[in-house]
Amino acid sequence: MEDMTKKNTDTDVNGAAGTGMPLIGDKAPAFRSMTTMGKCNFPEDYSGKWVVFFSHPADFTPVCTTEFIALGRRAEEFKAINTELLGLSIDSLHSHLAWAESIEHIDLGGKGKIVLPFPIVADVSMKVAKLYGMLQTVASTQTVRAVFIIDPESIIRAILFYPMSTGRNIDEIKRIVLSLQKHDEENISTPADWNPGDDVVLGAPLTLDTARGRLADPDEKLKKYSWYLTMKQDD
């Protein structure tokens, strides 16, 4: 007799598409693949850099095209903060190349044409998409709009998932990278709607003495709203 308990457990763990999904704090799953810029050995090829790894439902789709153009226009901004862009969709390398070439002829919004400055992973087998849980429904062979922000130690630090109908906000992706970098450098957190230059949040005190000391701290840069909520001016 079939073990239905085991079957149900597998479904719960692996999700609707029958694949697992890495979580924040996990090591980024490794893979080797061809891309529009040659072979990729991930994450080794990106050691020491932040990576924005993002998926698309398919090549030659309109929303994806706008995202590629938007990211291409701002690729240098990401490079300036030690961040590389890496795309993926479940299509062949030749399809990727044709799509990238077609994008070069599009002047979206009258802002000028671009040549895509980042690679696109070829994933016809869906191996990489399954490694990262990018397939969200059993019936679909298209990835959702997933974003994995991966740090220089190859640890996944943030995950964003969008439905196929909604284009991503590039400002928000960059803001998350900057927030994570600031946290790592200064051991602070960033509040709601934070942007570079805004006030940052100090960690909550873990002892009564620390809480009292913070409330009594004369530092004029501190903004003490409560014993557990203290913000300070960004330097």
Question: At how many degrees (to 10) do helices 62-73 and 170-186 cross?
Answer: 50
User: Residue 147, CB half-sphere, CA atoms under 13 Å: how many?
Assistant: 22
Known catalytic membership, residue 64: yes
CA angle 198, 204, 210 (to 5 degrees): 120
How far does Cα 6 stand from its chain's mean position? 33
Cα-based distances in Å from 73 to 41, 58, 118, 130: 25, 21, 11, 29
Catalytic residue among 64, 129, 135, 150: 64
Residue 131 CA to residue 117 CA, distance in Å, equals: 25
Tokens of residue 110, six digits: 């009258």
Compute the Cα dihedral for 110, 113, 116, 117 and give only its sign.
negative
Active site residues: 64
